[in-house]
Structure formats: structure tokens, C-alpha cells
A = this chain, B = another copy of it.
């Protein structure tokens, strides 16, 4: 479950760094708006392919989204 927390935190941080709403990120990643919300709130457990699409949208390596906070 630790990776889910890290993903949520990293995703939120990078998303905000771009000044993006959840919906903008969702559209950019090609996933549903409510799904992005669910990941950030830790109620969802995405597959690695969804992780990949979100990473591409955020212009960062997929693995980086799972890294511990610096």
C-alpha cells in the first residue's frame, strides 16, 4: 500500500506544479476524471499501464511516480 500513497503524493505534487486540475490531468492521461480523484484519495489501485499513461501526461518516468518523497 505504500506505493499507492507515494503515487498519490507524487502525482498531486507534479500535477499542481503544472497548475493542472484533476480533470486536465485525467484528459491528458486518457483516464476518467473520477479515477484520478480516486487515486489521489487512495481508494483506487491502478494497474501499471494506467500508471504509465499518467506518467506520460506528467512528463515523468513511470517509476518516478512511485519514489519516496525527497
Contact = CB atoms under 8 A, between A and B. Distances in A.
Contact of A48 (B61, B64, B66, B67): B66
A3 interface: yes
B45 A46 contact: no
B66 A61 contact: yes
A4 interface: yes
Interface residues of A, number: 19
Interface in A50-70: 51-52, 61-67
A47 B2 CA distance: 13
A25 interface: no
A60 to B, nearest CB: 11
29 contacts: A1-B49, A1-B52, A2-B52, A3-B48, A3-B49, A3-B51, A4-B49, A7-B48, A45-B47, A45-B48, A45-B49, A46-B48, A47-B47, A47-B48, A48-B48, A48-B51, A48-B66, A51-B66, A52-B66, A61-B63, A61-B67, A62-B63, A62-B66, A63-B63, A63-B64, A63-B65, A63-B66, A63-B67, A66-B66
